[in-house]
Amino acid sequence: KVRLTEDLRWKRCDIKSISLLPNVLEKQNAFEEGMYESWQKRNNLITEGATSNAFIVNRDGFIQTHPANNFILGGVTRDTLIEIAKKKKLKVVEKAFSSQDLFSSKEAFLTSTTAKVLPVVEVNNKNISDGKPGQITRELIKMYNELVK
């Protein structure tokens, strides 16, 4: 389960610094609300999670995530997953998506070093698709786990 919040961070989120207080507070708020993560949005576009990168499988069946720029802290797991997906001939689009895109998506998932690839089945107490991990997400989990063995 994930919740959406406004991205209140500075505009150089790509720089890992000791100034991660907004991320820590959002992660704690999510936990206190019984959710795993907070996905942050800026101008109604999902940037990333407090401690993860955000992905959807859009209506066209493409994997979509925010482009690597100053509004996200890219991750090794994010980059590895994109590389794996492309090798398996899955279409990956690095383009920001809106909350409307999220709620109409076929699937959603997040990546992080600690969680690896984790399905997102509910956002703001609304199911994503049927509220179950999707086929592409399950395939990506399997491919990622095989790689890191």
Told to judge if 16 belongs to the known catalytic residues of this protein, a careful annotator would answer yes
Which residues 6+ apart lie within 8 Å of 146 measured at CB?
none
> Minimal CA–CA distance to 75: which of 38, 117, 112?
112
**What is the C-alpha separation between 126 and 14, in angstroms, rounded?**
30
Catalytic residue among 16, 87, 89, 126: 16
| 63 HSE (CA, 13 A, CB side) | 26
Q: Among all residues, which ones are annotated catalytic?
A: 16
